[in-house]
Amino acid sequence: MRKPQPGVPSSASAGMVARRFAPLVKLSPADLALLDGTASRLVHYPSRTELLREGEDLRPLLLVEGWACRQRVFPDGRRQVMSFYLPGDLIGSVLDRRAQRSPSSLFTLTPVIAADASALRKALVDDQETHAGLAQACRLSETFDEMCLLNHVVRLGRQTAYERMAHLLLEICDRLDQVGLVSNRSFTMPMTQEILADALGLSIVHVNRTLQQLRRDGLIELKGPAVVLKDDAALADIADYRPLRTLI
Amino acid sequence: MRKPQPGVPSSASAGMVARRFAPLVKLSPADLALLDGTASRLVHYPSRTELLREGEDLRPLLLVEGWACRQRVFPDGRRQVMSFYLPGDLIGSVLDRRAQRSPSSLFTLTPVIAADASALRKALVDDQETHAGLAQACRLSETFDEMCLLNHVVRLGRQTAYERMAHLLLEICDRLDQVGLVSNRSFTMPMTQEILADALGLSIVHVNRTLQQLRRDGLIELKGPAVVLKDDAALADIADYRPLRTLI
DNA sequence: CGGCCTTTTGAATGTCTTCAAAGTGCGTGG
DNA sequence: CCACGCACTTTGAAGACATTCAAAAGGCCG
């Protein structure tokens, strides 16, 4: 059990989504009301538990607080983390009514507060005219998700451990920044080095050594789950990182 | 220049899509007519050329014949192939009217014949009731795409060269089978070992050795671009491969 | 304080890469 | 028709990056 992370304010829940997309698309009062309604039905999940098993039907969720990840586990125990879910993220498509069988399991990294987004999905599918703005925002969200998945492929396929780590740190900072969880290039990353290893396709030992190297090189600072990117220009150069904003 | 691959019949173009999805969703006569109309405007592209640069606007295409891939290139020349496009595949979303800036470049592996799917997209977005079945099929197609991307992450993150190769071969066979391009577990894979290396995150040399090992183990057979999976059960076991069909 | 999970460190091993060069196949042009 | 060039495949050997094994140190909670 881990206590709720410091630095993750339990903000006016769905304000997250509004915050993410307000600068990008125009959300109508109806959109904002819909988001508020969605955020009224909150569910709590404990840390380190499976939200959803592989193959189960994926009901859409809006992640309000805490972190989760999508993972696949091999019969022999190897694990691959395929993506991270951060506050403000949508889990499962809200633009498609069809039941979706998840090809991977969902796993919480911290205690999680999420909203059932079934009603949101229903509203977006049924009243497309009313919620054009919000639908647009959700499409944008899915585009970001895909971009992150592509980034992940690049990291795993063609980058060294050092580059992978720099790249992932930049991406997470980028995403957290969109929901106001970064100040002074500093943020909370509530996961063990084991999770990091399973995301980056490395061994725990090597993750540890890589982090130390980044620290020694003066590029990052670590205090428990707190990360500071001390030279994000250098990191971006090392990792050939392209900000998510460049998509729009 | 490479001649059109044997084994890839220049079939009644958009029949591909119908063929892929007919067993899965009900396509109406209107849907089939729409597909036929789409396939009437065909464009040819030469082999080994860039269909689309990174950052350019992505207009939707229906790939009718030939192979292409999505790739990202580093400043220092390293390359990562993120996904393959096979006959019958949709490139770019046809369910979303918004202009999409591509986060990766598109590259043809063979001479390619593609249909401009802009009209298809327009029809699907505007006449949702008329084309409910086809829209469903396209959503399914996008779900497959995501599944393949997740597969790719797993391969690159947590599998050995041997496992990666087996896994990719099975996935490609699986996909080609959906459009009738496989007979007797045998198909044409028109790409160099260099492309394979850039997809699997390996060196060319190691790809070569891995293929030889698979051959020596009696799991596959290679004659030029022709591949035979001689023991797909063993391959699936080695790679922990899960057929795409299990999604539905 | 004790137990457990996580982080850190050292040393040996291994998978895969790099470098180098030879071999093969195919299209072009003399 | 043969020779040449070019791209791709294949082979060998050395070296690098990352893993595995093992164990100690640190931090948190009951």
Q: What is the mean pLDDT of each run of 10 residues along chain A (248 residues)?
A: 35 70 88 90 94 92 96 97 97 86 94 95 90 92 96 98 98 96 96 98 98 98 96 98 88
B78 at interface of A, judged by CB pairs closer than 8 A: yes
Give per-residue pLDDT as tens, B120-135: 999 998 888 899 999 9
Q: Angle B132-158/B29-38 helices, nearest 10 degrees? A: 60
Confidence of residue B1 (pLDDT cuts 50, 70, 90): very low
Distance from CA of B58 to the nearest CA of A (A): 12
Interface test with B, best of A79, A154, A244 (most B CBs within 10 A): A154
Residue B22's pLDDT is what? Answer: 83
Strands (E) in B121-214, as ranges, are 186-188
Q: Which residue of B has its CA nearest to A78?
A: B158
Q: How many CB atoms lie within 10 A of CB A130?
A: 15
Q: Distance (Å, rounded) from C-alpha A95 to C-alpha B46?
A: 36
Q: Distance (Å, rounded) from C-alpha A17 to C-alpha A19?
A: 5
The tokens describing B49, both together, are: 């050329």
Residue A13's pLDDT is what? Answer: 58
Residue A185's pLDDT is what? Answer: 96
Is the Cβ pair B143, A55 closer than 8 Å? Answer: no
How far does the CA of A25 sit from the C1' of C9, in Å? 50
CA-CA distances (angstroms) from residue A81 to A73, A101, A201, B154? 9, 18, 8, 8
Query: Are B201 and B71 a contacting pair, CB within 8 Å?
Result: no
The tokens describing A152, both together, are: 């992940």
Is the Cβ pair B153, A154 closer than 8 Å? Answer: no
Residue B12's pLDDT is what? Answer: 54
Residues of chain A with C-beta less than 8 angstroms from the C-beta of B139: 96, 98
Distance from CA of A27 to the nearest CA of B (A): 16
- In degrees, rounded to 5, the angle at the alpha carbon of residue A129 between the alpha carbons of residues A126 and A132 is 100
Residue A22's pLDDT is what? Answer: 84
Question: Which 159-198 residues of chain B touch chain A by CB within 8 A?
Answer: 198
Is the Cβ pair A246, B136 closer than 8 Å? Answer: no
Is the Cβ pair B103, A248 closer than 8 Å? Answer: no
pLDDT above 90 (res B229):
yes
Query: What SS3 string covers A6-32?
Result: CCCCCCCCCHHHHHHHCCCCCCCHHHH
Q: What is the DSSP letter of A183?
A: B
Interface test with B, best of A153, A167, A202, A244 (most B CBs within 10 A): A153
Residue A46's pLDDT is what? Answer: 96
* Spatial CA neighbour of A150 closest among B104, B99, B151: B104
Q: Which nucleotide is nearest to B162 (CA to C1')?
A: C15
Q: Which nucleotide is nearest to A207 (CA to C1')?
A: D18
Q: Distance (Å, rounded) from C-alpha A155 to C-alpha B48?
A: 24
Distance from CA of A203 to the nearest CA of B (A): 10
Is the CB of A212 less than 7 A from some atom of nucleic acid strand C?
yes
Q: What's the one-letter identity of residue B65?
A: E
3 state SS of B80: strand
More confident residue, B84 or B11: B84
Query: Are B136 and B143 a contacting pair, CB within 8 Å?
Result: no
**Region B79-102 average pLDDT:** 92
Residue B191's pLDDT is what? Answer: 97
Residue A121's pLDDT is what? Answer: 94
**Region B159-177 average pLDDT:** 98
Q: Considering only residues 177-206 of chain B, list those whose CB is below 7 Å from strand C.
A: 201-206
Residue B11's pLDDT is what? Answer: 41
Strands B57-58 and B100-101: antiparallel
B150 at interface of A, judged by CB pairs closer than 8 A: yes
Residue with minimal CA–C1' distance to C24 is B224
For the ranges A6-20, B88-102, B163-177, which has the lowest average pLDDT? A6-20
Query: Are A47 and A108 a contacting pair, CB within 8 Å?
Result: yes
Residue A192's pLDDT is what? Answer: 98
Is the Cβ pair B82, A147 closer than 8 Å? Answer: no
Confidence of residue B97 (pLDDT cuts 50, 70, 90): confident
The tokens describing B191, both together, are: 């790409």
Is the CB of A204 less than 7 A from some atom of nucleic acid strand C?
yes
pLDDT above 80 (res B198):
yes
The tokens describing B124, both together, are: 């699907």
Residue A6's pLDDT is what? Answer: 35
For chain B, how many helices (H) and strands (E)? Answer: 8, 13
* CB proximity list for A64: less than 8 A, separation 6 or greater: A13, A14, A16, A39, A42, A87, A88, A113, A114, A115
Mean pLDDT of all residues belonging to chain B? 91
Q: Which nucleotide is nearest to A195 (CA to C1')?
A: C6
Which residue, chain included where needed, has tokens 């920044």?
A: A177
**Cβ-nearest to B158 among A55, A74, A75:** A74
